[in-house]
Structure 1
Amino acid sequence: MKIFKPLLYLAILATFFGCGKRYSIVRSARGEYHIDSTLTLDSGIVKTYLPYKRKMEAQMNAVLGESAVALEKERGTESLLGNFYADAVASEARKLFSFDFTIPTTKGGLRNEIPKGKITLSTIFELMPFENELVLLKLKGTDVQQLLNFIAASNGQPVSGLQMTISDKKPVNLLINGKPFNVADTYTVLTSDYLANGGDNTKGLATPLERKTIGLRVRDALVNYVKNQTASGKVINAQLDGRIKEN
């Protein structure tokens, strides 16, 4: 394996202006390094980063809570992992703002499963390694219809506050916050900035009537939810509840 990179920029000519010194680069060198088994360990570098490595590992291995079940990315219209993710984000965001339903990620955005047992900070980082922010979108009913069509056509996505049946890849029997969907109404949807910006080819979010960043990262919402459940003496026990069914 070869890595090509600028190695050294040497300032070898000093020009004096008044009482101060200014330096300018007149020549740069470029080196080629082979990354393989012939490289020897540099103890100086190890000593430099080891304290930071130990501190980071201590933080990442801190136990936040416990899951009573394995949160898996099951194939189907909903999954335990997707339900946990969407409900956790919705629960924390509702402490700040009200909204009708959430689609905080897609199935492809669920980066790792959570095994039964202890949930560490590292577990959440592996599930959500990105710095995505949560945003509120006020949408026309016609845009929400596009979003619902997208969810149905992709055989379900992680959602909370939304119920639907998928029939021939179309959404039917739609309930938002327990009320029938009305295309003439406007709705406030909680999602990530990634999806709001068109990530994962998500439909219906591109032209909101209003957009608001709420000051909460998706990962922080997940971390806070697990911590709060633990503080309340609860474990994570997600269920398949039929929020998205297939006819």
Structure 2
Amino acid sequence: MNFKNLFLVLGLLLAMSCKTPTDVYKIEGKNININDSLPTITSIENFIKPYRENINKDLDSVLAYSVDTYSKADGYLNTAIGNLMADVIYDEADPIFFKRTGEHIDFVLMNHGGIRSIISKGSISKRTAFELMPFENSIVVSKLPGANVKELLDYLARAKRAHPISKLKIVLDKDGQVIESLVHEIPIDFNKTYYVATNDYLINGGDGMDFFKDSEDIFVLDYKIRNALIDYFMKTDTINPVADDRFIQLKE
């Protein structure tokens, strides 16, 4: 073998010895269910126990009292629990909005699906607020042109669902058409703009509420719905919400 061939063979052997395998031939996995059957690690349990107890004590501290049990399934176009949530959002958010802008919120629209629990008869606590609103949704205010307010009304008329509203009144005829719409008991002027409080999910078209996408301006209050509920409960001794005439359909 001449030197040229010898160097060639040595080079090939060196290259082969330095090559790192990159092909993966088999991957194995194991599914481990996280449930009560997993053994407790005493040291970790003892470490977190005082924190858990403190959190539970805070969550279960009584803030108010509910005279009855309320569910979003209780009514047709408006429900006591939905009316309560929308009214709470108006009452708690409007002073903040006015302080920042010099304007008042005209009305509130939330989504029926955003109510995630009932309110049980008896004591109301912070845990109640977390059960009603387990998500991190915050209150935002849309400056909505009248034409889009008309779309909003048409949406609610088609949906025929108890989406929570406050300071807004809608009357449908027997065929489901809007025949009356008022804000603060004043007929809606579709040539005006209105300040509509909603949440950060709906403002982006959630639940098909695309009319919010044409907002002239959006005001982020940095105020979670859950916190608004807690603030309301803390200063309210007893809640007794009712279904009313804010959204109705005539039979004749």
**Alignment partners' CA distance in 2, 1:176 and 1:122:** 33
Q: Provide the TM-score with structure 2 as the length reference.
A: 0.79
1:131 aligns with 2:136: yes
1:199 aligns with 2:203: no
- Name the SS of the counterpart of 1:138 in structure 2: strand
Q: Provide the TM-score with structure 1 as the length reference.
A: 0.81
- Name the SS of the counterpart of 1:149 in structure 2: helix
Contact 2:204 2:210 (8 Å CA) reproduced: no
Contact 1:164 1:171 (8 Å CA) reproduced: yes
1:142 aligns with 2:147: yes
Matched with 1:6 is: none
Contact 1:134 1:214 (8 Å CA) reproduced: yes
1:43 aligns with 2:42: yes
1:149-206 per-residue CA deviation (whole Å, 9 max, x = no partner) reads 1112111411000001123333221111111112111111011111101112223111
**Alignment partners' CA distance in 1, 2:139 and 2:227:** 10
Deviation of 1:31 (Å): 7.0
Matched with 2:231 is: 224
Matched with 2:87 is: 87
Q: Which moved more, 1:164-173 or 1:137-146?
A: 164-173
Identity of counterpart residues, as a percentage? 31
**Alignment partners' CA distance in 1, 2:183 and 2:36:** 58
**Alignment partners' CA distance in 1, 2:39 and 2:211:** 54
Matched with 1:157 is: 163
**Alignment partners' CA distance in 2, 1:129 and 1:37:** 23
Contact 1:89 1:221 (8 Å CA) reproduced: yes
**Alignment partners' CA distance in 2, 1:140 and 1:38:** 56
Q: Which runs of 5+ in 1 are unaligned?
A: 1-29
**Alignment partners' CA distance in 2, 1:33 and 1:200:** 35
Deviation of 1:38 (Å): 6.3
**Alignment partners' CA distance in 1, 2:37 and 2:209:** 47
Matched with 2:65 is: 66
> Quick one: which amino acid aligns to residue 80 of structure 1?
A
**Alignment partners' CA distance in 1, 2:181 and 2:156:** 12
- Name the SS of the counterpart of 1:206 in structure 2: helix
**Alignment partners' CA distance in 2, 1:99 and 1:160:** 10
**Alignment partners' CA distance in 2, 1:215 and 1:99:** 16
Structure with a larger share of its residues in strand:
1
Contact 1:150 1:203 (8 Å CA) reproduced: no
Q: Which runs of 5+ in 2 are unaligned?
A: 1-27, 98-103
Contact 1:89 1:225 (8 Å CA) reproduced: no
Equivalent pairs counted in the alignment come to 214
Matched with 2:4 is: none
**Alignment partners' CA distance in 1, 2:36 and 2:146:** 60
Name which one, 1 or 2, has greater alpha-carbon Rg: 2
User: After TM superposition, which residue ranges in structure 1, 4 or more long, deviate above 2 angstroms?
Assistant: 30-41, 166-172
Higher relative contact order (CA 8 A, sep 6+): 2
